[in-house]
Amino acid sequence: MEPARRVISFHYTLTDSEGEVIDTSRDSQPFSYMEGTAQIIPGLERALALLSAGDQRKIDVAAKDAYGEHDPELIIQVPREKLPNDGTLAVGDQFQATGPNEEVLMFRVIGINDAEATLDGNHPLAGEALTFDVEVTAIRDATPEELSHGHAHGPGGHHH
């Protein structure tokens, strides 16, 4: 028997510490997620868990409860020939690689010279305090199908 979980749907506008809008759901459907599946950042999930359908809130999330603090150990130098697309590698390129603790991370190229590339495995929003303007549009119990898949399904049913 799977534990009971709720599916929470909400609109959000995400801004960084300078008030720049990073992302919003306002031009499409509300975002839906199943509680307890680590689908959204922990600080936001904790705050949303206390709200009811119809509530609007401004939620401030510290970096450690968002995409984590910026980790200098995730900035690494790699010989260019070890990288994919060695010949056309450019600053801003991204690719998956294995990090220091065997985790799969998305690395961005932040510097490059003839011999080496400098890669940053931090999330682009690591170290950022974030603010979410949210409006909870619906809260319901997860369906058996959603519980077995471990994620919420949209209003049209199944979509992966």
- The H-or-E segment that residue 9 falls in is strand 6-15
| Rg (alpha carbons) of the chain, rounded to whole number | 19
For residues 6 and 47, what is the distance between their CA atoms, to the nearest angstrom?
14
* Whether the Cβ atoms of residue 57 and residue 26 lie closer than 8 Å to each other: no
Interface with Zn ion, residue 11, by CB under 5 A: no
Residue-wise DSSP of 79-94: EGGGSTTGGG--TT-E
Q: Which is nearer to Zn ion, 134 or 152 (CB)?
A: 152
* Whether the Cβ atoms of residue 11 and residue 54 lie closer than 8 Å to each other: no
Q: Which is nearer to Zn ion, 52 or 148 (CB)?
A: 148
Q: Which is nearer to Zn ion, 120 or 146 (CB)?
A: 146
Q: Which is nearer to Zn ion, 13 or 39 (CB)?
A: 39
Q: Which is nearer to Zn ion, 11 or 149 (CB)?
A: 149
What part of residues 55-74 is at the interface with Zn ion (CB under 5 A)? none
Least CB distance from residue 102 to Zn ion, whole Å? 28
Q: With CB under 5 A, what is the number of residues at the site for Zn ion?
A: 1
Least CB distance from residue 52 to Zn ion, whole Å? 26
Least CB distance from residue 36 to Zn ion, whole Å? 16
For residues 37 and 148, what is the distance between their CA atoms, to the nearest angstrom?
12
Least CB distance from residue 137 to Zn ion, whole Å? 20
* Whether the Cβ atoms of residue 70 and residue 83 lie closer than 8 Å to each other: no
What part of residues 95-154 is at the interface with Zn ion (CB under 5 A)? 149
Q: Contact residues for Zn ion (CB under 5 A)?
A: 149
